[in-house]
Amino acid sequence: MEKAGIREVKKSLSLYIRMVKKGETITITERGVPVAKLSPVTSNVPEGAFRLAEEGLASWQGSKPGRVNPVRKKDIKARNLSEMVSEDRR
Contact of 38 with 25, CB cutoff 8 Å: yes
pTM: 0.49
Q: If you ran DSSP here, which 8-state letter would residue 38 be given?
A: E
- d(CA 14, CA 32) in angstroms, rounded, equals 22
Greater model confidence, 90 or 79: 90
Residues 6+ apart with CB under 8 A from 37: 25, 26, 27, 28
Helix (H, G, I), strand (E, B) or coil at 16: helix
Helix (H, G, I), strand (E, B) or coil at 89: helix
Instruction: Give domain limits for the chain.
Output: 1-58
1-58: in CATH 3.40.640.10: no
Greater model confidence, 60 or 21: 21
pLDDT above 90 for 90: no
pLDDT for 79: 67
